[in-house]
């Protein structure tokens, strides 16, 4: 259907960022924060970032407005980085959309996406929603990308079984992307949880420390983070970490003092065992005082 209108190019098999959120309109901000964090890591040109962020926001707004007939459902984002091409996939599992280039309603932002992206594709997921793929030419050189994103492993599929729709699920490969992505997302979610300015700063500080200390102990190089937002509370699960290393990592005598920082900034933290390795679970609160 779209062969004459939208160009098709090969896409890398390894996404560097996966973000799974509810389709609520406020979560478009989280998508933009993920893009901003990735852009910092790969030194993306600010003008290129602006075009990418605008076009991807339009695709996500489509999901929020049209995919679930006013209700909330899953919004899935994948970002793939290559030497000259950045590909973003936005996916929903709703009623599907059927864009027309001559649609004057402007409701789905297709002209904007076509103007800003090198190519745009819509795929019907066999009655289970729509996948939009946007490709953008970027000027980052291969050598710079290799330094920024060395040895990114293939991401395992995100399993949302048992995860509530309102939980933010972030997966990064390599784990070092957490340095620039996680603090941004956690700050935005802390603000959503009605944290004070001081506690938002604490959340950002904790995110920085978690990534810095856990990066070398991530099991397989892929970092998974679940974040649940409650009024004046954030609950995080971070892993998979190497079995047995996590307790050492968060102990009071650990190098760098992550355990002491967790004791000071987090309401609680514990190490849990999972099939793929250890998981660090922690809770931040703000009593509003």
Here the tokens at position 28 are 């478009």
Domains of the chain in start order, with CATH, are 17-148 (3.30.565.10), 168-285 (3.30.565.10)
Query: Measured between alpha carbons, how far is 153 from 287 in angstroms, rounded to an integer?
Result: 40
pLDDT tens readout for residues 168-204: 999 998 888 999 999 999 999 999 999 999 999 999 9
| Residue 144 pLDDT level (bands cut at 50, 70, 90) | low
Query: Measured between alpha carbons, how far is 137 from 84 in angstroms, rounded to an integer?
Result: 6
Please name the residue that has the structure tokens 């076509």.
Answer: 114
196 C-beta neighbours (distance < 10 Å), count:
15
pLDDT tens readout for residues 21-48: 999 999 999 999 999 999 999 889 999 9
CB 130 within 8 A of CB 64: no
pLDDT tens readout for residues 226-260: 999 999 999 999 999 988 888 877 875 555 568 88
Longest dimension (CA), the chain: 64
CB 202 within 8 A of CB 239: no
What Cα–Cα distance (Å) separates residue 16 from each residue in 36, 115, 203? 14, 25, 24
Here the tokens at position 86 are 């950045």
| Residue 160 pLDDT level (bands cut at 50, 70, 90) | very low
pLDDT tens readout for residues 109-121: 888 999 999 999 9
In this structure, the chain runs to a length of 289
Query: Measured between alpha carbons, how far is 162 from 31 in angstroms, rounded to an integer?
Result: 23
pLDDT tens readout for residues 52-108: 999 999 999 989 988 898 888 999 999 999 888 899 999 999 886 656 554 554 455
If one compares 208 and 158, the residue with the highest pLDDT of the two is 208
CB 151 within 8 A of CB 221: yes
Alpha helices of the chain — where are they, by DSSP H?
28-42, 46-62, 110-116, 142-148, 178-192, 197-214, 245-250, 258-265
Look at residues 168, 180, 262, 184 and name the one whose alpha carbon lies nearest to residue 224: 168
Neighbouring-strand partners of residue 172: 17, 223
Q: What percent of the chain has pLDDT over 90?
A: 50
How confident is the model at residue 1, as a pLDDT? 25
How confident is the model at residue 67, as a pLDDT? 87
Give the sheet arrangement for strand 85-92, strand by strand: 119-124, 130-137, 85-92, 74-81, 17-22, 168-172, 223-230, 233-241, 277-285, 268-274
How confident is the model at residue 55, as a pLDDT? 96
Here the tokens at position 229 are 């937002």
Query: Measured between alpha carbons, how far is 2 from 21 in angstroms, rounded to an integer?
Result: 28
How confident is the model at residue 11, as a pLDDT? 45
Answer yes or no: is pLDDT of 3 > 50: no
Answering whether pTM is above 0.95, one says: no
How confident is the model at residue 214, as a pLDDT? 81
Query: Measured between alpha carbons, how far is 3 from 122 in angstroms, rounded to an integer?
Result: 10
How confident is the model at residue 224, as a pLDDT? 92
Look at residues 183, 281, 205 and name the one whose alpha carbon lies nearest to residue 241: 281
Under DSSP, is residue 48 helix (H, G, I), strand (E, B) or coil?
Answer: helix
């Amino acid at each position: 259907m779209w062969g004459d209108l939208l160009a098709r190019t090969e896409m890398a098999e390894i996404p560097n960022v996966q973000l799974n959120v509810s389709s609520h309109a406020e979560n478009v901000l989280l998508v933009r924060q993920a893009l901003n964090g990735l852009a910092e890591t790969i030194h993306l040109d600010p003008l290129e970032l602006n075009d990418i962020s605008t076009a991807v926001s339009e695709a996500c707004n489509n999901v929020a407005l049209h995919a679930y007939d006013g209700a909330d459902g899953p919004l899935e984002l994948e970002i793939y980085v290559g030497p000259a091409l950045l590909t973003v996939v936005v996916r929903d599992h709703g009623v599907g959309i059927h864009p027309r280039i001559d649609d004057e309603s402007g409701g789905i932002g297709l002209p904007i996406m076509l103007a800003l992206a090198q190519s745009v594709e819509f795929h019907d997921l066999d009655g289970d929603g729509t996948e939009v793929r946007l490709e953008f030419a970027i000027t980052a050189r291969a050598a710079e990308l290799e330094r920024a994103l060395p040895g990114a492993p293939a991401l395992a599929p995100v399993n949302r079984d048992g995860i509530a729709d309102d939980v933010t699920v972030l997966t990064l490969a390599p784990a070092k992307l957490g340095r620039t992505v996680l603090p941004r997302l956690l700050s935005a979610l802390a603000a959503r949880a009605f944290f004070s300015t001081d506690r938002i700063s604490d959340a950002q500080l904790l995110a920085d420390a978690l990534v810095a200390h856990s990066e070398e102990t991530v099991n397989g190089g892929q970092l998974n983070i679940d974040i649940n937002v409650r009024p004046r509370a954030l609950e995080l699960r971070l892993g998979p970490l190497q079995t047995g290393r996590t307790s050492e990592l968060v102990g009071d005598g650990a190098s760098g003092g992550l355990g002491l920082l967790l004791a000071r900034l987090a309401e609680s933290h514990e190490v849990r065992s999972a099939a793929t390795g250890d998981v660090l679970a922690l809770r931040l609160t703000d009593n509003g005082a």
